[in-house]
Amino acid sequence: MPVQKGSVGKPQYGLALSSLVNERQVDFMQNINDGCLMTLSPITTPCCRNTFVILSTEDTSLHGVKMNYGDEFLLRAENYGDPQAAPLYVRYTPEGVPGPADRMPIQLSAILDSNCRWTTMPLLPCDRLEGLGSPIKTNAKLVIKNCVADKSLCVMNQNWMQTFFGPVDDKGIVYCNRVLLGNWYEASQLEEYKLNKFLEQMKKGDLMLARYRKMSENLNKPTVLTQSSSSIEFGAKITLLAPHVPATDPPQEDKKGLVLGGRLSSNEISYSQELEDGCSVVGLSDLEPTEKSTFIIKSADYCNREGESLKYNQEFLLALSSSVTRKNPLYLRYDPNPIPGLCGVLPLYLSKHPVSNTRWRMLPTQGPNITRFEQEGKPVMVNTDLIINHCATNVNLGINVGCWMMGFYEKVCGPLMKTCLDVYGKELPNNVWQIYIPLAS
């Protein structure tokens, strides 16, 4: 790390850990003492400020024994001015709360405790496991860590301060040791790992933005419905519309109509960007036919009825159009007695099992001049009000206009499985549906 320019203009490298007597302390002490702060100085000439004795924490009287990586040791300052004074040790004081930005947590202390313990390890991570226990060589690059805080001793090169010492060229500037006590190497490796992981996810398309775009491409792809101006047939692509319910929250008079369609939650998009088994079904305000709201009418009696007209009170299945294309049909399903809390406010979902709970039938709306019994067996007409009834429970499909929630694109409305009647025994508007076939222009 360059700290100043030499006599030939080349940068000089190297800083020495040194004690410091600041301008407030010089009035009452003229020598290193308990409480002196530790800094990093470009003055590397051995002197009282930067000379230390390495002592073993197991036995401070050991001399001449080789020091190995991983051994705990003490750093005792050499006090040439007063050899009889109490020994001073380099001590790190951990912060109980965040301190000011210019605070230096390392200082000389006459108190010998566990905060004075230090240890070393090889600089390169690949050598740390095998290097523990091997002797430390002179001039070898290594990492010094405090044993209690498990933080590395390092330099913060943004913080300089004025001192009494130093050559004229550097004007007495010394590295302040905010002495970056922290896992600086681990932090830099973590940032590199996060960057590599981000790039890898971007290549694989695993980022949330890429998943959202893929989901939008799959669910909002426009579809072409089966065009008809009279009755509807088995195998036709349709959209179910509730024409008499508000399409906004709060409701507006000029905006009515919700279509039935699939929905992906924020959790489901993490593992799939298409409608899968278990995805909920809600009311959508977008009336344009798309993959998420297009269904195909299938026969419920295992017979091939392609081309036959669907009649009132005849059982059928509603399969999602995109799932039929993938050869893995998903059917509209309602379970009458779910486990409490299992489905929440969304009782309808898509299921790959064509069981009895996926069977539906269409009933005509009750009129003043003709009974529902008289219309049984007649073909179901498109763009005409009708009732969708669940065969297994005999309850009607509806829209819960009091249950709105936020989706990826807009607010969606929860469905309702309940027969809602007025005082005259007629279905309320939230139970009325249409087979919505907008005529192609």
Please indicate, yes or no, whether residues 253 and 137 belong to a single structural domain of this protein: no
In a domain? residue 366: yes
Q: Note whether 162 and 39 are within 8 A (CB).
A: no
Q: pLDDT tens digits for 113-160?
A: 888 999 998 888 777 777 788 888 888 888 888 888 888 887 766 566
Q: What is the pLDDT of residue 397?
A: 93
- Is the backbone peptide bond immediately before 100 cis, with ω within 30 degrees of 0? no
Task: Classify residue 5: in a domain, yes or no.
Answer: no
**Residue with more model confidence, 395 or 160:** 395
Same-domain check for residues 244 and 107:
no
- Residues ≥6 apart with Cβ < 8 Å to 138: none
Residue 336 lies in a domain: yes
Task: Choose one of 146, 165, 198: the last residue of a domain.
Answer: 146
Q: Is the pLDDT of residue 95 over 60?
A: yes
* β strands within 156-233, DSSP E: 160-162, 173-175
State yes or no: pLDDT of 353 exceeds 60.
Answer: yes
126 and 266 co-located in one domain: no
Print the domain residue range for 231: 223-436
> Tell me, what's the pLDDT at 240?
93
Tell me what pLDDT residue 351 has. Answer: 92
My answer on whether 366 and 242 are in the same domain is yes
Q: Which residue has the higher pLDDT, 398 or 208?
A: 398
Query: Does residue 325 form part of some domain?
Result: yes
Is the pLDDT reported for residue 296 higher than 90? yes
Q: Is 178 inside a domain boundary?
A: no
**What is the structure's pLDDT at 358?**
93
User: Residue 205: is its pLDDT beyond 50?
Assistant: yes
Structural domain includes residue 234: yes
pLDDT for the residue 175: 42
Query: Is residue 10 included in any domain, yes or no?
Result: no
On the 0-12 / 13-18 / 19+ scale of CB atoms within 10 A, 66 is exposed
Task: Please check whether residues 230 and 138 belong to one and the same domain.
Answer: no
53-62, 105-114, 309-318 — most confident range:
309-318
pLDDT at 171 over 50: no
Residues 260-286 pLDDT 10s: 999 988 888 888 888 999 899 999 998
Confidence category of residue 206, pLDDT binned at 50, 70, 90 = confident
Choose among 293, 301, 306, 303: nearest CA to 332.
Answer: 293
Q: In a 3-state reduction of DSSP, which class is residue 132?
A: coil
- Are residues 274 and 134 part of one domain? no
Could you give the percent of the chain with pLDDT greater than 90?
25
Side chain identity, residue 407: G
What was the pLDDT predicted at 172?
Answer: 38
335-353 core/surface letters (b: 16 or more CB in 10 A; e: else) = beeeeeeeeeebbbbbbee
Q: Which of 146, 170, 201 is the last residue of a domain?
A: 146
Please check whether residues 139 and 239 belong to one and the same domain. Answer: no
Report d(CA 20, CA 433) in Å as an integer.
84
Rounded to an integer, what distance in angstroms lies between the CA atom of residue 140 and that of residue 65?
Answer: 18
Residues 142 and 273 in one domain: no
* CATH number for the domain that contains residue 385: 2.80.10.50
Number of structural domains, the chain? Answer: 2
Q: Average pLDDT of the chain?
A: 82
Q: What angle do CA 25, 30, 33 make, to 5 degrees?
A: 70
Strand boundaries in 52-195, DSSP class E: 52-56, 73-77, 89-92, 106-109, 118-122, 142-146, 151-152, 160-162, 173-175
Is 346 among the domain residues?
yes
How do beta strands 397-406 and 411-417 pair?
A: antiparallel
Residues 22 and 127 in one domain: yes
Question: Pick from 117, 146, 175: which residue ends a domain?
Answer: 146
- My answer on whether 228 and 345 are in the same domain is yes
Interval 414-436: pLDDT, tens: 999 999 888 888 889 999 999 99
Closest of 345, 318, 334 to residue 401, by C-alpha: 345
